[in-house]
């Protein structure tokens, strides 16, 4: 609780103007897929002839944020990442819904003739991956849940925290992400250069849409989905993760029968940026078991 209070004091002591988001020109190997009113950007990291990992990233992420970890994954596997609406290279939709987004991703996989994939969910992407899994069990070979939960608002304290964080984002999105969330969540491996880069890349997203997506994900309860998971599952948590405590990762491990749990001692929530090689090594080792 003390950490939450400090968090709010820091925020309300400062304020700066948010930068205006502009859509980005599509870079190399980034493509668009259209289904209904959704038009989503996606990218294959690596050789498409290899087996594919479908990765759903976390809050405020985008395709560019995966660039740091992707080289360590693509030595062994192809990595497919899809931008949420108005994140990175995906245009805005009028009403984002997790369930509809995962339906669009399934149609994308069908169009790419991908019948079997490995599935990974990082942070808020864990909710998205669990929704995708419950609807597409036969095509999931293995599941990876990284610094994530099936119910982020599982206690009155966490619900209070996330509700107030929502208000902070609405008040000043830029400042909340760049000057509060990232500095507080960074671990010993998260250098100043990485912090600067992450701040820049985070602003590739449209703040209004990020907040809207946040509201559609953070209050969902997917505890029921854990009991439906039948494939081998890797759960990576941390002793120093302020958003997903060690107890949450252990709870998920207990709920999923065929699961393996790794609790990191020295890296935290932003591990895919701060220690990408370590995380990729754990993922690859699990997939090759």
Quick one: tokens of 171?
């008040």
Can you tell me the mean pLDDT for 120-144?
A: 97
pLDDT of residue 26: 66
Domain ranges of the chain: 2-9+25-287
Instruction: Say yes or no to pLDDT of 166 above 90.
Output: yes
Mean pLDDT is lowest, of 23-27, 118-122, 166-170, 199-203, for: 23-27
Can you tell me the mean pLDDT for 155-183?
A: 91
19-46 as b/e: b if 16+ CB within 10 A:
eebeeeeeeeebeebebeebbbbbbbbb
**Ramachandran assignment for 123, one of left (phi > 0), alpha (psi -120 to 50 degrees), beta (any other):** left
Q: Burial, 3: exposed, middle or buried (Cβ in 10 Å; 0-12, 13-18, 19+)? A: exposed
Binned at pLDDT 50, 70 and 90, residue 10 comes out as very low
Gap between the Cα atoms of 30 and 82, Å rounded: 10
Instruction: Say yes or no to pLDDT of 20 above 90.
Output: no
Can you tell me the mean pLDDT for 102-131?
A: 97
pLDDT of residue 15: 34
Q: What is the dihedral of CA 49, 51, 54, 60, to 10 degrees?
A: -70
Q: Please list the alpha-helical segments (H only) found in the chain.
A: 2-13, 70-73, 98-111, 125-135, 156-171, 173-175, 182-185, 192-202, 207-218, 223-226, 246-255, 271-274, 276-287
Largest CA-CA distance found in the chain, in angstroms, rounded: 52
Strands 78-82 and 38-45 turn out to be antiparallel
Strands 38-45 and 30-35 turn out to be antiparallel
Can you tell me the mean pLDDT for 87-102?
A: 92
Of 112, 147, 114, 88, the C-alpha closest to 35 is: 112
Within 10 angstroms of residue 110's Cβ, the number of other Cβ atoms is 11
Q: Which fold has domain 2-9+25-287?
A: Rossmann fold (3.40.50)
Of 175, 174, 184, 245, the C-alpha closest to 207 is: 174
Gap between the Cα atoms of 110 and 157, Å rounded: 41
pLDDT in tens, 63-74: 988 999 999 999
Residue located via tokens 């940026």:
273
Strands lying side by side in the sheet with 140-146: 30-35, 38-45, 78-82, 52-56, 117-122, 140-146, 233-238, 259-264
pLDDT in tens, 49-94: 899 999 999 998 999 889 999 999 999 999 999 999 999 999 988 8
> What number of H helices and E strands is found in the chain?
13, 8
Binned at pLDDT 50, 70 and 90, residue 180 comes out as confident
């Amino acid at each position: 609780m003390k950490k939450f209070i400090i968090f709010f004091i820091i925020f309300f002591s400062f304020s700066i103007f948010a930068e205006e988001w502009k859509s980005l020109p599509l870079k190399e190997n980034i493509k668009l897929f259209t289904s209904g009113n959704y038009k989503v950007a996606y990218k294959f990291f690596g050789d498409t002839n290899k087996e594919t990992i479908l990765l759903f990233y976390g809050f405020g992420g985008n395709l560019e944020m995966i660039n740091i970890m992707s080289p360590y994954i693509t030595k062994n596997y192809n990595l497919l990442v899809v931008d949420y609406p108005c994140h990175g290279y995906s245009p805005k939709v009028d009403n984002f819904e997790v369930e509809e987004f995962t339906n669009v991703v399934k149609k994308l996989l069908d169009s790419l003739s991908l019948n079997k994939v490995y599935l990974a969910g990082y942070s808020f992407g864990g909710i998205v991956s669990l929704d995708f899994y419950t609807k597409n069990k036969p095509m999931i070979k293995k599941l990876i849940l990284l610094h994530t939960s099936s119910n982020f608002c599982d206690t009155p304290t966490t619900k209070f925290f996330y509700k107030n964080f929502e208000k902070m984002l609405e008040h000043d999105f830029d400042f909340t992400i760049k000057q509060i969330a990232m500095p507080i969540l960074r671990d010993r491996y998260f250098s100043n250069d990485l912090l600067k880069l992450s701040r820049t890349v985070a602003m590739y997203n449209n703040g209004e849409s990020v907040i809207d997506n946040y509201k559609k994900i953070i209050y969902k309860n997917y505890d029921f989905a854990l009991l439906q998971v039948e494939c081998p599952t890797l759960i990576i948590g941390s002793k120093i993760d302020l958003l997903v405590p060690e107890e949450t990762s252990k709870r998920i491990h207990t709920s999923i029968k065929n699961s393996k749990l790794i609790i990191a001692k020295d890296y935290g929530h932003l591990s895919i940026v701060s220690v990408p090689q370590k995380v990729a090594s754990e993922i690859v080792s699990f997939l090759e078991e």
